Every structure is written in C-alpha cells, then in structure tokens.
Amino acid sequence: MTYIQLSYGDLVLPALLVVMDGALSLVLRLKLEKQLAIASVRMVLQLVLVGYVLTFLFAAVSLLWTAVAASIMVLFASREIVARQKRRLPGIWSYGLGAGCTLLAAGTVTTFALLTELRPDPWYHPRYALPLLGMILGNTMTGISLGLDVLTNSLVRERAAVEACLALGGTRYQALLPVIRDALRSGFMPIMNSMAAIGLVSLPGMMTGQIIAGVEPIDAVKYQLLIMFLIAGGTGLGTLAAVLGGAHLLTDHRHRLRLDRIAADGPG
C-alpha cells in the first residue's frame, strides 16, 4: 500500500483557505474571524497532540493506557453533552446521565466489535480500539445530547398536556410517551439521515481515508458498513437509555412531573 505523504509545509497552502475566510469576514464585517481563528488553532493543536498521543499508545499497546485514553474521550463527550443542553438535569445527573449512557453505549458496542468481528491481537489494540471508539462516541454523543435537549424542552413546553394525562390517572410512562417519542426521533434523526445519504451525497471520512491509503474500495466499503452498523447500534442504545433515564429523573415514584428538578437555563 502506497500513498502520498504530506509534510507540514504541504499544509501551508490549504491553510491559506481558512486565512482567506478570515480575511473575507474582516472585510465584510461578519465578525466571525475571532471564532474562526480560535477554532482553527484549537483544531491544529488538538489534532497534532492526538497524533503524538496515538503514536505513543500504538508503541505501548498497553491495556491501562488505552483505557485511560478511552476514559478521557468519554469525559470530553459528556462535557460536550452538558454544554449543548439548554436546561440541565439536577446535580450529579447533569454529567452522570450523559456520561453513563455514552459509556454504556459506545463502550459496549466498541467492545462487542473488537471481541466478535475485528479481533485484533491483543483485542484492546489501540490502533483499532481508539478510532472505533472515537467514531461511535462522536455519533452517540450527538444522539444523546439532541435527545435530552428535546426531552427537557418539550416537557417544559408540554407540561399542561403531560399533567392532564397524569391527572386523569395515566402512568408517568403513558403521560410522557409523546414527548419521549419526539426526543428519540430527534436523537436518531442524524444517524438515519446519514445512513440514507451515505454513498450518494457523502463519502464517509474513514472510507475515504482508507481508499487514499491504498485499500481497495470494496474493502473500505465493508469497513464503513461495519462502522455504520456499530454507530447506529450505539446511538440507538445510548439515546434510548439517556431519554428513558431522563424521563425517569424528571418524574417520581408517585407519577408526578418534577420540572423543579430541571436547573434553570445553562450558559449557552
């Protein structure tokens, strides 16, 4: 397998495209240049850093270090989930629910794939485990944050409807079902859209990467299919657990709606 190697110098020209965006923003007074600059610098630093970290991990092939890296990824994912919520769950649950469901879904699905299909030696080899986890994590995180956001917002908005059902002797599950349905639909929508558009509209990054690296397209497709099934499975599992868990937290054993447990609008 051969592919064209890049030097850092080769990146200068493409980077000028972003500089051009920034210049246009300045000229047209779009006020996006500061955000763009911060995002670009973050991206460069994070990616270069992760490149070195992965180099180290691939050399070490240690279960401990791989697990540490995976936990850090899960922590950042749950931080991202909390940051995207307009309304937050109480106390420890604001992080706990997101982190728990992300860990549950992405962890289970990644481990499942490593142990049953890919079977690298050793099974936790970071060359397979971490990219796999990263892809599943990114999508699961999106599903969970969308699902929880719709759940909490709809419960606040649909409070009268939910309480009408409760007052008429409905159980908390019956009363919340329309809202739960909406939340799950929103959580699943991105992955369902990308499954429908994949290959026709978009060529997924991992498959493109493998093709550039010299892998036969049809082999790259098989890998991509595996990843898509894992992503769909992980997102489904994680979003379902998070939305049902959230619904449970925002009601109580006497089947009351407990919006008092939602913290006021979070920052952003």
Partner 1 sequence: MLTVSGLKRLHISVSFDLQDGECVVLQGPSGVGKTLLLRAIADLDPNEGTVKHDGTLREAMPAPAWRKRVTYLAAEPGWWSDTVQEHFMGWGDAIPLVTRLGLPDDCGPWPIQRLSTGERQRLGLARALMLRSPVLLLDEPTSALDPASAAGVESLIAERISNGTSVIWSTHDDAQARRVGSRIFTMGPDGRIEENGR
Q: Which residues bind partner 1 (CB under 8 A)?
A: 158-171, 175, 178, 252-258
Shortest distance (Å) from residue 172 CB to partner 1: 9
Comparison of 111 and 153: residue with beta carbon closer to partner 1: 153
Shortest distance (Å) from residue 260 CB to partner 1: 8
Shortest distance (Å) from residue 167 CB to partner 1: 5
Shortest distance (Å) from residue 182 CB to partner 1: 11
Shortest distance (Å) from residue 254 CB to partner 1: 4
Comparison of 127 and 157: residue with beta carbon closer to partner 1: 157
Comparison of 177 and 198: residue with beta carbon closer to partner 1: 177
Q: Is the dihedral of CA 176, 177, 183, 184 positive or negative?
A: positive
Q: Which residue intervals of 5-125 are DSSP H helices?
A: 12-27, 33-60, 63-83, 93-102, 108-113
Exposure string over 131-161, b if 16+ CB within 10 A, otherwise e:
ebbbbbbebbbbbbbbbbbbbbbbbeebeee
Comparison of 74 and 166: residue with beta carbon closer to partner 1: 166
Are the C-beta atoms of 210 and 220 separated by less than 8 Å? Answer: yes
Are the C-beta atoms of 187 and 235 separated by less than 8 Å? Answer: yes
Beta bridge partners of 257: 251
Quote the CA–CA distance of 159 and 154 in Å, as a whole number: 8
Comparison of 248 and 255: residue with beta carbon closer to partner 1: 255
